């Protein structure tokens, strides 16, 4: 059998090989340097974060046994042998879960409405004035960057303990996040309908209503539903700072070492989050067809 | 050219009955949905105690607090806050790295093109349930295990991101091109060779981009886990809010904003360098 591959003469080959090796060596060096910088950053970070591997190894058993403990009833049996006792507070927890869902629903809706009002001002192609674009964008950025739970802490001081603070915190955070996503959809919208409407002498408001809105409403609704999903998770911890919902009950159970309650509440939260994910996924699929689901 | 009023609407109606004579159910669907959404909203407002008087007094209180926040002033505790900020950044960096290292091997077991469905399904559900629990809850659990402090924060972020990374990585692996893997197999490579030389070169840039993005978003998460006692700037923030030192609070919030913006900028640059402009956008 003849060899189909032609082999270059030695000299030419050596020159090519040398260039190749040099290129590879340069790439490797860069990778190595990057890696070294990264490792150095990690070392500095571990000192800063008081990482102590000894503690981890000593107490890692605790982590495993913690799950053992939260899955054991006071009587020493496994939790799943006696559902009635494991979920003894189910009635109370379901009520708090309902409150959590309402907090995220009302918060998402307020946030979505505010974001809807602001996003046309924050989109490059529709904003009526550059200074407005700049201000609204910074405002949304602020609302998005400050974590929701920080707003909740401050609102608890202003509005008192209870779900009102949680709703407002979620609303503000959602306004920031949705405002950005909405304005990105608007920026991707086709501008020809706007020109068409403007050429009939319509105002800015009618341009938005009749040219942009029909193109973007499906995307808006899809993102709002997605946000609702995220907010359910967020609302489940709002109670940690006293802003209503199931989190209050959970933090008490964790802090006071009511082990089996911890696992029961966690299970109810996880199941609820699953159900909400599935439902909103189904609704989004129904509303906008398969391609909008991603 | 005919003027608009010359249009024969009767003829149009006859020609397009599906536009003009839609059944009542489809015409009512949208208003009904809006009414339903509004009804739940109103019920929520009532159920959650949104009385107008409370709202207004809260707003005036909030206005008062905002006035008290001006101007932001750290007092004499600036070095303490800078240290706390460094702690927060360390928590984000270490937690994300740890999560990525742990998630990489596990994600192989959650990818359709590597393992059969019978392995994939339980691994996926396992990752889902980890993700279903919020970072703050993980922080509380770890505080019970390793005690108060930033180390608990690192572990909390590592665990909750482990769930997210496992899913994202396995999706990246599933969307990788199979031809290169087949090429390695054809030249006699083992299963590990296929992964190392067929999959990893395709998947690693995507993973690197995701890890950088998570470092960015974890800077935000790391600021809040301090609220439950897991170290970092959140601890200071929660304390100052509780003792009503509003000038310090606003200064701390400003510090967080600046730090997040800086990390955004750096990681944007890095992602750009690693995976190129097209993939970033």
Tens of pLDDT along B179-209?
Answer: 888 888 888 888 888 888 888 888 887 888 8
Check whether A293 has a pLDDT greater than 60.
no
Contacts with A55 from chain B: Cβ below 8 Å: 146-147, 151
Query: Is the Cβ–Cβ distance between A134 and A187 less than 8 Å?
Result: no
A292 — pLDDT class (breaks 50, 70, 90): very low
**Residue B48 to residue A106, Cβ atoms within 8 A:** yes
Q: Is residue A69 part of a domain?
A: no
- Residues 262-281 of chain A with CB under 8 A from chain B are 266, 269-270, 273-274
Q: What is the predicted pLDDT for the residue at B281?
A: 36
Q: What is the predicted pLDDT for the residue at A291?
A: 46
The beta-carbon neighbor of A103 closest among B48, B90, B151 is B48
Nearest-angstrom CA–CA distance, A127 and A117: 12
Q: Same structural domain for residues A127 and A255?
A: yes
Query: Is the Cβ–Cβ distance between A112 and B40 less than 8 Å?
Result: no
Is A188 near chain B, with CB under 8 Å?
Answer: no
Q: What is the DSSP string of A5-34?
A: S----HHHHHHHHHHHHHHHHHHHHHHHHH
Query: Is the Cβ–Cβ distance between A208 and A120 less than 8 Å?
Result: yes
Check whether B2 has a pLDDT greater than 70.
no
Q: What is the predicted pLDDT for the residue at A294?
A: 38
Nearest-angstrom CA–CA distance, A70 and A86: 10
Count other Cβ atoms within 10 Å, centred on residue B12. 11
Q: Is residue A5 part of a domain?
A: no
Q: What is the predicted pLDDT for the residue at A258?
A: 83
Q: What is the predicted pLDDT for the residue at A109?
A: 93
Domain ranges (residues) in chain B: 6-69, 78-280
Check whether B277 has a pLDDT greater than 60.
no
pLDDT (tens digit per residue) in A75-131:
777 777 777 777 787 888 888 899 999 999 999 999 999 999 888 888 888 888 888
**Residue A109 to residue B132, Cβ atoms within 8 A:** no
- Average pLDDT, rounded, for chain B: 82
Contacts with B231 from chain A: Cβ below 8 Å: 49-50
Check whether A2 has a pLDDT greater than 70.
no
Q: What is the CATH number of the domain that holds A118?
A: 1.10.3720.10
Choose the weakest-confidence range: A59-68, B248-257, B260-269: A59-68
Q: What is the predicted pLDDT for the residue at A1?
A: 53
Q: Rounded to a whole number, what is the distance in Å from the CA of B191 to chain A's nearest CA?
A: 25
Q: Is residue A223 part of a domain?
A: yes
Domain assignment of residue A39, given as a range: 11-51
Q: Same structural domain for residues A121 and A204?
A: yes
The model's pTM = 0.78
Count other Cβ atoms within 10 Å, centred on residue A133. 17
Residue A243 DSSP one-character state: S
Q: Is residue A243 part of a domain?
A: yes
Q: What average pLDDT does range B231-244 have in this prediction?
A: 84
Contacts with B244 from chain A: Cβ below 8 Å: 157
Q: Same structural domain for residues A149 and A256?
A: yes
SS3 A78: strand
Nearest-angstrom CA–CA distance, B281 and B262: 19
Chain A residue with minimum CA distance to B281: A184
The more confidently predicted of residues B169 and A49 is B169
Q: Same structural domain for residues A236 and A161?
A: yes
Check whether B115 has a pLDDT greater than 70.
yes
**Residue B154 to residue A49, Cβ atoms within 8 A:** yes
Q: What is the predicted pLDDT for the residue at A105?
A: 92
Q: What is the predicted pLDDT for the residue at A128?
A: 81
The beta-carbon neighbor of A66 closest among B144, B149, B151 is B144
Tokens 């295990």 -> residue: B145
Q: What is the DSSP string of B221-256?
A: HHHHHGGGTSSSHHHHHHHHHHTT-HHHHHHHHHHH
Contacts with A155 from chain B: Cβ below 8 Å: 58, 62
Residue A72 DSSP one-character state: B
Check whether A154 has a pLDDT greater than 60.
yes
Nearest-angstrom CA–CA distance, A93 and B130: 21
ipTM: 0.75
Nearest-angstrom CA–CA distance, A110 and A166: 12
CB proximity list for A239: less than 8 A, separation 6 or greater:
A96, A100, A166, A245, A246, A247, A248, A249, A250, A251
Residue B23 DSSP one-character state: -
B279's tokens: 């993939």
Q: Rounded to a whole number, what is the distance in Å from the CA of A215 to chain B's nearest CA?
A: 17
Q: Is residue A199 part of a domain?
A: yes
Q: Is residue A250 part of a domain?
A: yes
Q: Is residue A82 part of a domain?
A: no
Q: What average pLDDT does range B210-216 have in this prediction?
A: 82
Query: Is the Cβ–Cβ distance between A240 and A247 less than 8 Å?
Result: yes
Q: Rounded to a whole number, what is the distance in Å from the CA of A204 to chain B's nearest CA?
A: 24
- How big is the A-B interface in CB pairs under 8 Å? 164
Check whether B43 has a pLDDT greater than 70.
yes
Q: Is residue A2 part of a domain?
A: no
Q: How far is CA B148 from the centre of its chain?
A: 25
Q: Rounded to a whole number, what is the distance in Å from the CA of A11 to chain B's nearest CA?
A: 29
**Residue B237 to residue A41, Cβ atoms within 8 A:** no
**Residue B144 to residue A240, Cβ atoms within 8 A:** no
Q: What average pLDDT does range A165-186 have in this prediction?
A: 90
Please give the tally of structural domains in chain A: 2
Is A105 near chain B, with CB under 8 Å?
Answer: yes
Q: Same structural domain for residues A36 and A98?
A: no
Chain A residue with minimum CA distance to B253: A146
A171 — pLDDT class (breaks 50, 70, 90): very high
Measured N-to-C along each axis, helices A259-288 and A247-255 cross at an angle, to the nearest 10 degrees, of 150
In terms of average pLDDT, the best of A43-57, A180-194, B103-117 is A180-194
Dihedrals phi, psi of A78, to nearest 5 degrees: -70, 150
Q: What is the predicted pLDDT for the residue at A112?
A: 93
Query: Is the Cβ–Cβ distance between B87 and A49 less than 8 Å?
Result: yes
Q: Same structural domain for residues A113 and A18?
A: no
- Residues 129-158 of chain A with CB under 8 A from chain B are 142, 145-147, 149-150, 153-155, 157-158
Q: What average pLDDT does range A48-53 have in this prediction?
A: 72
Q: Same structural domain for residues A94 and A217?
A: yes
Superfamily grouping for domain B78-280: MetI-like (1.10.3720.10)
Check whether A22 has a pLDDT greater than 60.
yes
Q: Same structural domain for residues A108 and A250?
A: yes
Q: What is the predicted pLDDT for the residue at B228?
A: 84
Q: Same structural domain for residues A28 and A159?
A: no
CB proximity list for B124: less than 8 A, separation 6 or greater:
B110, B167, B170
């Amino acid at each position: 059998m003849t060899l189909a591959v032609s082999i270059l003469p030695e000299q030419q080959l050596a020159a090519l090989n040398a260039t190749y090796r040099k290129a590879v060596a340069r790439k490797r060096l860069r990778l190595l340097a990057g890696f070294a910088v990264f490792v150095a950053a990690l070392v500095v970070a571990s000192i800063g974060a008081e990482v102590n591997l000894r503690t981890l190894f000593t107490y890692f058993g605790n982590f495993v046994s913690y799950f053992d403990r939260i899955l054991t009833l006071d009587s020493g049996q496994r939790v799943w042998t006696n559902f009635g006792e494991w979920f003894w507070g189910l009635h109370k927890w379901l009520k708090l879960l309902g409150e959590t869902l309402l907090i995220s629903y009302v918060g998402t809706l307020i946030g979505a409405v505010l974001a809807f009002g602001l996003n046309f001002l924050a989109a490059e192609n529709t904003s009526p004035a550059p200074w407005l674009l700049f201000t609204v964008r910074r405002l949304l950025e602020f609302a998005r960057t400050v974590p929701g739970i920080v707003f909740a802490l401050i609102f608890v001081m202003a509005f008192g303990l209870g779900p009102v603070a949680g709703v407002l915190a979620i609303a503000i955070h959602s306004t920031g996040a949705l405002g950005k996503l909405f304005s990105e959809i608007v920026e991707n919208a086709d501008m020809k309908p706007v020109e068409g409407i403007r050429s009939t002498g319509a105002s800015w408001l009618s341009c938005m209503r009749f040219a942009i809105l029909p193109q973007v409403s499906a995307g808006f609704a899809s993102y709002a539903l997605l946000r609702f999903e995220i907010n359910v998770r967020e609302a489940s911890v709002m109670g940690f700072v006293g802003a209503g919902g199931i989190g209050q009950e959970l933090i008490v159970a964790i802090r006071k070492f009511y082990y089996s309650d911890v696992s029961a509440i966690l299970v109810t939260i996880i199941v609820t989050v699953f159900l909400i994910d599935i439902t909103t996924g189904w609704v989004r699929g129904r509303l906008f067809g398969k391609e909008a689901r991603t | 050219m005919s003027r608009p009023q010359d249009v024969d609407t009767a003829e149009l109606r006859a020609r397009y009955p599906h536009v003009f004579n839609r059944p009542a159910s489809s015409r009512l669907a949208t208003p009904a949905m809006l009414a339903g959404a509004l009804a739940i909203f109103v019920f929520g407002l009532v159920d959650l105690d949104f009385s107008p008087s409370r709202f207004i007094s809260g707003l005036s209180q909030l206005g008062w607090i905002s006035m008290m926040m001006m101007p932001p002033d750290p007092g004499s505790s600036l070095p303490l806050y800078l240290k706390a900020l460094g702690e927060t950044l360390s928590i984000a960096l270490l937690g994300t790295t740890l999560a990525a290292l742990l998630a990489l091997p596990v994600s192989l077991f959650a990818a359709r093109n590597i393992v059969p469905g019978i392995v994939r399904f339980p691994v996926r559900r396992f990752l889902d349930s980890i993700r279903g629990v919020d970072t703050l809850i993980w922080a509380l659990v770890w505080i019970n295990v390793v005690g108060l402090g930033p180390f608990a924060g690192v572990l909390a972020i590592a665990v909750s991101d482990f769930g997210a990374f496992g899913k994202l990585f396995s999706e990246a692996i599933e969307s990788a091109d199979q031809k290169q893997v087949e090429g390695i197999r054809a030249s006699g490579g083992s299963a590990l060779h296929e992964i190392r030389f067929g999959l990893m070169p395709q998947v690693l840039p995507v993973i690197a981009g995701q890890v950088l993005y998570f470092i960015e978003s974890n800077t935000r998460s790391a600021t809040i886990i301090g609220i439950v006692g897991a170290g970092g700037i959140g601890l200071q923030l929660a304390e100052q809010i509780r003792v009503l030192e509003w000038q310090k609070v606003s200064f701390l919030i400003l510090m967080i904003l600046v730090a997040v913006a800086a990390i955004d900028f750096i990681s944007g640059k890095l992602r750009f360098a690693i995976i190129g402009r097209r993939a970033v956008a």
